[in-house]
Amino acid sequence: MKYLPLLWATLWRKKARTIFTLLSIVVAFLLYGVLGTVDYAFENPSAGVTGADKLITTNKFSITLQLPFSFTQQIRSVPGVAVVTWITWFGAYYQESKNFVFALPIDTDTYFDLHKSDGFVVSDAQMTAFRNTRTGVLVNSALMKKFGWKVGDKLPLHSTIWTQKSDGSLNWTFDIVGTFDVKDPTQASQQSSTALFHYELFDEGRSFGKGEVGWFEERVDDPSQSAAIAAKIDALFANSPNETRTQPAKDFAIAFIKQIGDVGFVLRAILAAVFFTLLFLTGNTMMQSVRERIPELAVLKTLGFTDGHVLALVIGESLLLCLIAAIVGLGLSFAMIPIVHQALQGVDLSHGEQLSGLAVAVLLALVVGLPPAIRAMRLNVVDALMDKR
């Protein structure tokens, strides 16, 4: 501790260089915190408890392949399954492709029954209006606000997949009959761009795929039996032309995002590239800093600092630099978790993952600090003093 003022003063010997080096390490650890947390979420999709009572059944080979609607009855017959509902990916946007709308055709009764624990809030009058309006749509209040829609408006949505049987058009028009909110905070972020409309309208209106669904959602009576129930559901359709894969809802959400590639690998590759670059940058800075201070280090040795003292001082300086930057970077990433959480549609994130960043900072400090520290330790005091006497 008594060496801290010396280390601190040495660290700020060249202010601009230290600030730029600190900033580069801060950014690296900010990325480490954010990407590491996201990576954790992808690798541990079932880490959270929310939604543990919900399962999702998709085609075994791809979630883009459809399943027969007739599976509903068979799934419902599996002991432990309380509710089954069915949904198909509509792939909609409003006016421009950047205005994504998570439009879902639903079976009203089973969908709201299955999601009742999520705390859907719809006024009775608007729910009645929805049930009574064939072209009705319930829109999340956040989405309503985003686009400035009002109840009573016509809502034209463009589907990227489903053409209408009547005219072959990809444009579907709905009537906004009400809004909804969701109390469950995880579900609230997931549902923030959702619009719900009648499955009957969708199934009858589409020009192909009639009688098929994208996936089934099940709620089970006992969450501890989820894995066994999932296995039973999949066993029902084993060796059929439409084999299924049943998994926890959170796993499904992750799998959905993973369609674009191995996200975890991409994240880890980015982090590896960042830290590889950082290693050279910080290592070079430390080496340059020690090179500039050779006469000063020689003076310390003259005063009686041993080789071990000098080694420890240089490593201490490296540790101070890396740990300060890591704490700032990880702190910023910690503060960004709510934003990432929302961006990932409520996928659970682990704060604990960031703590491992401190261990990485110590490792980084040792790797970049050791070569200059050894050089300083081996310094011959007479030679080093020669040009500075």
Partner 1 sequence: MSEAIVSLRNVVKHYARGKQDVPVLDGLNLDIAKGEFVALMGPSGSGKTTLLNLIGGLDTPTSGEITVAGQRLDRLGSGQLARWRAHNVGFVFQFYNLMPMLNAQRNVELPLLLTKLSSAKRAANAAAALTLVGVADRAKHKPNELSGGQAQRVAIARALVADPTILVCDEPTGDLDRKSADEILHLLQLLNRDHGKTIVIVTHDPKAAEFGSRHLHMDKGALLETGTLAA
* Interaction site with partner 1 (CB under 8 A): 2-3, 5-6, 9-10, 12-13, 295-296, 299-309, 381-382, 385, 388-389
> Inter-axis angle of helices 263-292 and 356-377, to 10 degrees?
30
Report the C-alpha gap between 112 and 217 in whole angstroms.
12
CA-CA distance, 32 to 273, in Å (whole number)?
A: 11
Cα separation, 137 vs 234, whole angstroms: 33
Taking the complex as a whole, the smallest distance from the CB of residue 385 to partner 1 amounts, in Å, to 8
Complex with partner 1: residue 3 or 208, whichever CB lies closer:
3
- Closest residue by Cα to residue 94 from 127, 64, 132, 139: 139
Answer yes or no: are the C-beta atoms of 191 and 131 closer than 8 Å: no
Neighbouring CB atoms inside 10 A of 343's CB total: 12
Q: Which is nearer to partner 1, 87 or 310 (CB)?
A: 310
User: What minimum distance in Å lies between the beta carbon of 296 and partner 1?
Assistant: 6
Q: Which residues pair with 194 in a beta bridge?
A: 102
- The type of residue at 359 is A
Distance from the Cα of residue 345 to its chain's centroid = 8
By beta-carbon proximity to partner 1, the closer residue of 53 and 317 is 317
Amino acid residing at 340: V
DSSP per residue over 335-357, as a string?
A: HTHHHHHHHTTT----GGGGGHH
Min dist CB 378 to partner 1, Å, is 10
Q: Phi and psi (nearest 5°) for 99?
A: -90, 70
Minimum Å gap between C-beta 16 and partner 1 is 14
Rounded distance between C-alpha atoms, residue 149 and residue 130, angstroms: 16
Which helix (DSSP H) or strand (DSSP E) does residue 26 occupy?
A: helix 15-43
Identify which of residues 143 and 300 has a Cβ nearer to partner 1 in the complex. Answer: 300
Which residue's CB is nearer to partner 1, number 16 or number 260?
16
The smaller minimum CB distance to partner 1, of residues 75 and 313, is found at 313
CB of 382 to partner 1, least distance (A): 5
Across the chain, the runs of DSSP E, i.e. the strands, are 54-59, 67-68, 81-87, 92-93, 100-106, 120-121, 136-140, 154-159, 171-182, 194-198, 212-213, 215-220, 244-248
Between 160 and 302, name the residue whose CB sits nearer to partner 1. 302
Q: Are 333 and 30 in contact (CB under 8 A)?
A: yes
The angle subtended at Cα 18 by Cα 15 and Cα 21, nearest 5°, is 150
Q: Closer to partner 1 at the Cβ: 18 or 88?
A: 18
Contacts of residue 185, Cβ cutoff 8 Å, sequence gap at least 6: 346
Q: Tell me how far, at minimum, the Cβ of 20 lies from partner 1, in Å.
A: 18
**Of the two residues 12 and 20, which places its CB atom closer to partner 1 in the complex?**
12
List the end-to-end C-alpha distance of the chain, in Å, as a whole number: 31
Residue linked to tokens 């590491």? 36
Shortest distance in whole angstroms from residue 289 CB to partner 1: 11
Least distance from partner 1 to the Cβ atom of residue 287, Å: 19
Nearer of residues 3 and 100 to partner 1, judged by Cβ: 3
CB of 316 to partner 1, least distance (A): 13
Beta carbon of residue 269, minimum distance to partner 1 (angstroms, whole number) = 40
